[in-house]
Structure 1
């Protein structure tokens, strides 16, 4: 299967630069995975497509202000860090720009020395392994000095950092938001609960590998980066109960979907566990536990559009995306949503 088979033409002006004032007023495309039929709704209408006993699975990861601007200690040359993965307490894998300034042993300073870093090693695909030094609490210093790591296609400044967090974000560790969840409000979640829908929370710390382009011609040659996930026993039981009762398991976002499909056994039972996943879902994959998916509109030729194509068919997805372009839906992180039912 070729990467170019997942291309579609997207006008630049349809890439959403800012979130809507009200999270749940984004548009919602309903896509029937069996027939390919399409409906056009508003996101808060999602409640009409959820039934009592269904289980809605949310990723409660929280984005850290992972972008740091500093300088090389000896030359004062400007440097930019993007925190990717915490390896140990103060040791991180980071992306560095410009990378040529980050040789092993090089030291950097951020916030007039409040935070310092030394390069210990070269990581995968040009990343660096660095050790930070500071006084106080790392998370507090990062909150003071760091910026939200917005995707490169968002060129406008985000006025409120919380708009790149879900309202239910809890466990810090992501380099990017699980953007399908950005449409939910606390009020909408309460209404969904009142309808008898179960809410289950899992955690997957989103790494930038999720969004990296597929550079190989044959998609089966693409390698995903590993991301850390956590599933608690109580939450696994909610999800398994819905499945056993013949109800739907609805993943909110591709991150929730990949976590669930990584932790399910061959009998379709979800295991409570922590681990790392590099699962790559593309057409031909047989879903073991996910029945439906709430997701945003994704980049052409990305692993994300391949995942949604696996759930409802490439032809259905590409047709839906072409309809979305025609109907002027908003794309990507701050854009509109799709429910694949």
Structure 2
């Protein structure tokens, strides 16, 4: 049996051939399965193995009609960021490993696709201004995919805690991938004014305190929360969460978000995105205390399976990657 190996650059080459609608539809299918008890999906708890220098995380998942995969990532204990994840994809029939792919980009891309789905479902399809917090790959993919899908977006502003080389590199890449869009890196002291005109807000930070108060956010804004994954993390305040109850507060997985998202409390009236086929957007007053719409995502393993299997299938069709013949 042959083994396909895809490097980071090869994964980027393959994912560039997917349309925004391809990715959005893929995540819609995944979330429908997450919210349906009748569909055979399997996501066991992730396994963490601590060592003196890093924490190794193993995240297996299976979709019966798509395949089985396991994502592996190591997080250094001191200094430096997380290492790029790798995903192993198993052959559907034999169970043998059929592909090893660099997943550095895929986690951010599947999250961005899920967020784009939420933006579409809440009817924010004529947005013009997107304000993002953070300067990592998550923000890069969220901006790229939203701009690709929503040609009405004409301005994207990125707020980061430091005007550093990471931010400058992101701005340079976005200038290439998002031509025709006004891009701006803004300091934190301008956040209040920036949010007053925002149609979409995306946050992807490990913030322990809210990035801004609720009364800076205009009614009708769609807020996407990606960063928090521990109960002590809070990207927005409770007041903004309660404003989302008056609009709609979508989550990728109710169980996972109750357990992991610092902004949410057990029993909050959230709606799983997989349960929503369409939602009628109401009229919003031009104020700063009315309803907003929101999507909180902590990520689910089935997203990794779906996008990894899609990339492997597309790569084989394109002839991209290193094929090791006679691996077994």
Q: TM-score, normalised by structure 1?
A: 0.30
Q: TM-score, normalised by structure 2?
A: 0.31
Larger radius of gyration: 1
Indicate the structure with greater helix content: 2
More RCO (CA 8 Å, sep 6+): 1
